[in-house]
Amino acid sequence: TKFIVTAEEHSVIGGLGSAVSEFLSETHPTLVKKVGIYDVFGQSGKAEELLEKYELTATKLISVIKETLK
């Protein structure tokens, strides 16, 4: 595959994207784009508002995929 996109509703540090990257780096080097929360303190609020605030939306995923395909 040309690349993999992971999405997670928490920090990308030590998350799913990191685990996928670690595995692939040793077996099949592949570009991994991680969508998640980048090194900021989390906040409380309504789920939909937090997903928007941290750009954890379908729109963001589509944007990352389109940008990576260029």
Nearest to 17 by CA among 4, 30, 2, 34: 34
Under-50 pLDDT residues of the chain: none
Q: Note the pTM of the prediction, 2 decimals.
A: 0.80
User: Which pLDDT does position 43 carry in this prediction?
Assistant: 86
Domain boundaries, the chain: 3-69
User: Which pLDDT does position 17 carry in this prediction?
Assistant: 93
User: Which pLDDT does position 63 carry in this prediction?
Assistant: 93
Q: Cα(70)–Cα(59) distance, rounded to whole angstroms? A: 17
User: Which pLDDT does position 40 carry in this prediction?
Assistant: 87
For domain 3-69, which CATH number applies: 3.40.50.920, 3.40.50.2300, 3.30.1240.10, 3.30.365.10? 3.40.50.920
